Amino acid sequence: MAEAPAFAGRRILITGAGTGIGAVTARHLAAHGARVAVLDRDGGAARTTAEALNGNGLAFTGDVTDPAACDGVLAAMESAWGGVDGLVNNAGTWDHGALLDLTPERWQRVLDVNLMAPIAFANAAVRRMGEGGAIVNVSSVMGQVAAPGRGPYCVSKAALIALTRLQAVEWAGRGIRVNAIAPGYIGNETTQGLADAGSFDLAVIERRTPMGRLGSEDEVARGIAWLLDAAQSGYVTGHVLEVNGGWTAYGYV
């Protein structure tokens, strides 16, 4: 007898899934049976992602910092699909600048998107999730190391890891697992755009990475899927899955 697809019947919300890692994750989960709610502040991109999911996608336009967007998506998932089983807090933003130049407002904007929104989405989702629910917070290698000039991003992604551990231990009794994924440098449009703008040098990054290359969006999506799938990672919670080609393991010159 053929095995049921890993995510058959699972209802999963992915924030920031209009493009990039979130969109690839949506396609991967739907290809394995999931129904996926795609939220993005870019409504056109959200629709493009959702329409490629063969009838198993719903698109929502909204900013993750807007409580109405959060409530609206979860209420719509409830009426369309009867609830929510999984959440991927993927939407992220950054602001580059030296610590002495950054204003409190610039810090706040990054913290609102990368930390406060995942808190709000997880709280709202967990109130509606049953036993077996799973959450993945998309952190970054920058949440594990210090990169000069990237203060709000590093701090918000480090806090997201701390939040993941707290959520994992507070919600274990509800049968809900919470994990983080920490991608290294992923070769996508965003990374290329930052390189083109002179934010970093991709050749230097490749040389600094033990595996000698950037990661792919698909490699991150597969990590997220593994963390969401109780058949694969049912005893894993509060974990940070590093998908970085060995970046954090490397400590030589």
Please state the closest distance from residue 39 (CB atom) to ligand NAD, in A: 6
| Closer CB to ligand NAD, 73 or 126, in the complex | 73
Strand partners, 37: 13, 58
Residues numbered 144-183 forming contacts with ligand NAD, rule: CB under 6 A? 183
| Closer CB to ligand NAD, 91 or 176, in the complex | 91
Residue 142 CA from chain centroid, whole number: 14
Beta strands in 80-161 (DSSP E): 86-89, 134-138
Q: Which of 150, 33, 24, 16 is nearest to 73 (CA)?
A: 16
Instruction: Determine, following the binding rule CB under 6 A, whether residue 45 of this chain makes contact with ligand NAD.
Output: yes
Beta strands in the chain (DSSP E): 11-15, 35-40, 57-61, 86-89, 134-138, 177-183, 240-243
Instruction: Determine, following the binding rule CB under 6 A, whether residue 22 of this chain makes contact with ligand NAD.
Output: yes
Beta strands in 187-227 (DSSP E): none
Instruction: Determine, following the binding rule CB under 6 A, whether residue 186 of this chain makes contact with ligand NAD.
Output: yes
Give, in degrees to the nearest 5, the angle at Cα 69 between 66 and 72: 145
Instruction: Determine, following the binding rule CB under 6 A, whether residue 65 of this chain makes contact with ligand NAD.
Output: yes
Among 4, 42, 67, 101, binds ligand NAD (CB under 6 A): 42
Q: Determine if residue 8 is left, alpha or beta; phi over 0 gives left, psi from -120 to 50 gives alpha, anything else beta.
A: beta
Distance CA(125)–CA(147), nearest Å, equals 32
| Closer CB to ligand NAD, 159 or 234, in the complex | 159
Q: Which of 109, 98, 107, 88 is nearest to 155 (CA)?
A: 107
14 phi and psi, to 5 degrees?
-120, 120
Residues numbered 193-252 forming contacts with ligand NAD, rule: CB under 6 A? none
Among 6, 125, 138, 159, binds ligand NAD (CB under 6 A): 138
Q: Is 153 a catalytic residue?
A: yes
Instruction: Determine, following the binding rule CB under 6 A, whether residue 19 of this chain makes contact with ligand NAD.
Output: yes
Please state the closest distance from residue 48 (CB atom) to ligand NAD, in A: 10
Give, in degrees to the nearest 5, the angle at Cα 124 between 228 and 78: 80
Please state the closest distance from residue 113 (CB atom) to ligand NAD, in A: 5
Residue appearing with tokens 């000069």: 148
Instruction: Determine, following the binding rule CB under 6 A, whether residue 77 of this chain makes contact with ligand NAD.
Output: no
| Closer CB to ligand NAD, 9 or 193, in the complex | 193
The residue count of the chain comes to 253
The span of 4-12, 63-71, 76-84, 162-170 binding ligand NAD (CB under 6 A) equals 63-71
Instruction: Determine, following the binding rule CB under 6 A, whether residue 56 of this chain makes contact with ligand NAD.
Output: no
Residues contacting ligand NAD: total by CB under 6 A: 27
The footprint of ligand NAD (CB under 6 A) covers 16, 18-22, 40-42, 45, 63-65, 90-93, 113, 138, 140, 183, 185-186, 188-191
Catalytic residues, by residue number, are: 153
